[in-house]
Structure 1
Amino acid sequence: MPSSLAARKGALASKLSSRPAKKAKLEAKLKPKVARKGTPPPKASKAFNGSEKVHNVTPKSEPKGKGKAKAVAEDTTGRAQATPLPTSFKVIAGSYEKLLYGLEGTVSVEDSDLKFKLKPLFIFPAHISCIKAVAASPNGGKWLATGSADEIVKVWDLRRRKEIGGLMHHEGSITHLEFPSRSHLLSASEDGHKGSVNSVAIHPSGKVALSVGKDRTLRMWDLMRGKGTASTKLGKEGELVRWSVDGSRFLVQTQSTIDIYSTDMDLLHTIIHPSRLHDVKFCKRVNGEGEVLFAAAEDKKLSVYDVPSDEDTPPTVIAELIGHTNRVKAVDALQIALPSIPNSSRTSTTLVSTISSDGKIRIYDLASLPTVPTNGEKTQLTPVAEYDTKGSRLTCVTLADGDIAIPQAANVNGKRKRGEQDKDEEGESEEEAWSAQEESEGDEDEDELEGEGEEEDEGEYESA
């Protein structure tokens, strides 16, 4: 382990064990205010020293000063997940050509087999420069955030297909977007650290985050107070940082190298991937225990590493998701409910979406992974669904919840639950259903983005 990391390992470990790190110099420079539910949003947030910013997204109907949010389950990707699981999903991808693609994914049973289908919902130019980051809010997939080289973060109502506003708090290309919760959005750009912020990762607890950038530094942030608490020199530029699903370890990726650390900054393993990496992501297994690590790379495939619970055992490649004809640029995963399958006890699975410079969006079923390492043999998974953008150079992707099946008996006080309100009325066209929904007043999902940007005109975007 490099001596510079060993000397500073206590800072990160002490924070995660609820003992505040004493970094007087750093904390004196960082005096942000993180917006919380029930409080007025910041006008021009300078949280996290300009490198990362937390934006408040709060439903109008939610009472001010509301108590703690209800507990929710975690899905196999580590994101907070509503119960029950969604029965459909949405895929949103950005491109160098400024186009934003939205697809709806459905699952059905035909001849006792699962059939996955993708159909376009919308295709339109969302920014005036290339789209570099997309993120969908958890617990229903209400909000969509897009970030661009035009230095603007746009927030969209994904269900109503409306632009809610633009967040213009950055002075550099947007590099990362993530929803820690349904009501907060974290953004990062090239204007922070002592150079560009390349990546941010939020701990599964939602209390702390890590960031890496061109200053070759790993920084840690207290999301409860909006303050930097620790930093350490990596000796190289970290391109991506990711937490494991259980929060017991994290990784920093640089070019073709993945360094995996424990929470006390011990370097556990270094993976040298055979080709240049573009994205990495931890995910829980569908079958069996433990986690896997996705590695999207220049070699036109998504490699799947087995990550043993024993920290002394190095990760090994157990599978490859194949089918692309050019570099794989990004990956995301989402757990969904499955329809009833004859003679099967399967009730859910995890879908993996990849995008590539070949212009294809592909979907894979993670249930096909082997349950145990295969002694060096690599299982090859082929896509269960795909969509061709006809040549767009795709840059980023996110998966969002679709409909949630809720029994009619679950309706309370005559209000419709999510999953019903997005469905078209029988005999209505999709456009008519959207129009009727937009004109309705008093809908329980009439949410609004609070803060700067809400004064911008709402722009409806077109269906594909």
Structure 2
Amino acid sequence: MSAIGDKNQFRIIVGSYEHNILCLSLDIPNQKENDAAKTPHFMPIFHFQAHSLSIKCLAVSRRYLVSGSNDEHIRIYDLQKRKELGTLLSHQGSITALQFSHPASSSEDAAVSKGSKNSKWLLSASEDHKIMVWRVKDWETVGTLKGHTARVNDVDIHPTNRIAISVSDDHSIRLWNLMTLRNAAVLKLRKYNTNGTCVRWLGAKGDYFAVGLRDRCLFMKLDRLKFLKK
């Protein structure tokens, strides 16, 4: 959200079952005493005919927008130029989740990324049981996170950008070391008799995470995970 004049302005990007991506600008006027009649205003910004099958997920990182679909493709778009840049083709199953790393915030990270505020990595999860790691500056694959034995439902990157967490239809939560691209820890969910459908880190330091199940939400500390022996 950004404040412009006397309005609050949002940009909303949605993907549809009709294979399209639509970006809308939503202007919400400040409600003053004499402005009660003002209503929010939607305005189309851009529209892409993105995929050949329904869109499953989207992710945005400042300049870039990526979309994942049942057609097994990941499309890349430049939000500044409003055009498609290309397609990532490494998965052999529907794309279920996309997640950019956090923009560099520390002086060390900024030096590595040469001052760029764009994300360094993109993670993509799929029904093929894999999580791919892509380098944003050239969109090359730098590794594959293997360990799940069923569809990966969601993935999220820790605020430090050093680890990631994922949930799968194999009844497990897995922690990944993004420095070594190896599985670092695992927690089984069999006692809940269901799978994790989504996962998110909580707090600025990422000491906690939340896992959404079909009938409940679990809140856990990072130290609940059983770390694997080196």
Give the TM-score normalised by structure 2: 0.71
How far is 1:173 from its partner? 0.3
- CA shift at 1:118, angstroms? 2.1
Residue 160 of structure 1: CA displacement? 1.3
Aligned residue identity for 2:21: L
Structure 1: state its 5+ residue gaps: 1-84, 267-464
2:202 to 232, 244, 248: 244
For 1:221, the equivalent position in structure 2 comes to 176
Shift of 1:232: 2.4
What number of residue pairs does the alignment pair up? 179
Q: Does 1:123 align with 2:47?
A: yes
Distance 1:97 1:135 in 2: 18
User: Which residues of 2 match residues 22-61 of structure 1 at below 5 A?
Assistant: none
Residue in structure 1 matching 2:166, options 211, 221, 225: 211
Q: Tell me by how many angstroms 1:110 deviates.
A: 6.2
1:106 equivalent to 2:27? Answer yes
Assess, with a 3 A threshold, how the Cα gap between structure 1 residues 251 and 111 changes in structure 2: closer, same or farther. Answer: closer
Using the alignment, how far apart are the partners of 1:224 and 1:130 within structure 2? 33
Q: 2:214 aligns with which of 252, 255, 261?
A: 255
Give the deviation of 1:108 after TM superposition: 4.0
**Contact 2:195/2:214 (CA < 8 Å) preserved in 1?**
no
Q: Equivalents in 1 of 2:223, 2:17: separation in Å?
A: 39
CA distance in 2, matches of 1:205, 1:216: 26
- Any idea what the Cα deviations from partners look like across 1:165-209, whole Å, max 9, x if unmatched? 100011110000111132321111111121110011211222111
| Structure exhibiting the larger radius of gyration computed from Cα positions | 1
RCO higher in structure (CA 8 A, sep ≥6): 1
Aligned equivalents of 1:256, 1:130: Cα separation in 2: 26
1:117 and 1:183 mapped to 2: Cα distance? Answer: 35
> Aligned Cα RMSD in Å?
2.0
Match of 1:232 among 187, 196, 209: 187
Distance 1:96 1:213 in 2: 23
Identity %: 39
Is 1:176 the counterpart of 2:135? The answer is: no
Give CA-to-partner distance per residue, 1:299-327, whole Å, 9 cap, x none: xxxxxxxxxxxxxxxxxxxxxxxxxxxxx
Contact 2:78 2:85 in 1 (8 A): yes
1:64-463 equivalent positions in 2, closer than 5 A? 86-87=2-3, 88-109=9-30, 111=32, 116-137=40-61, 141-181=62-102, 182-192=119-129, 193-235=148-190, 236-246=194-204, 247-265=206-224
Q: Distance in 2 between matches of 1:109 and 1:91?
A: 19
Q: 1:111 to 1:226 in 2, by over 3 A?
A: same
| Structure 2: distance between partners of 1:180 and 1:124 | 24
Deviation at residue 124 of structure 1 after TM alignment: 3.6
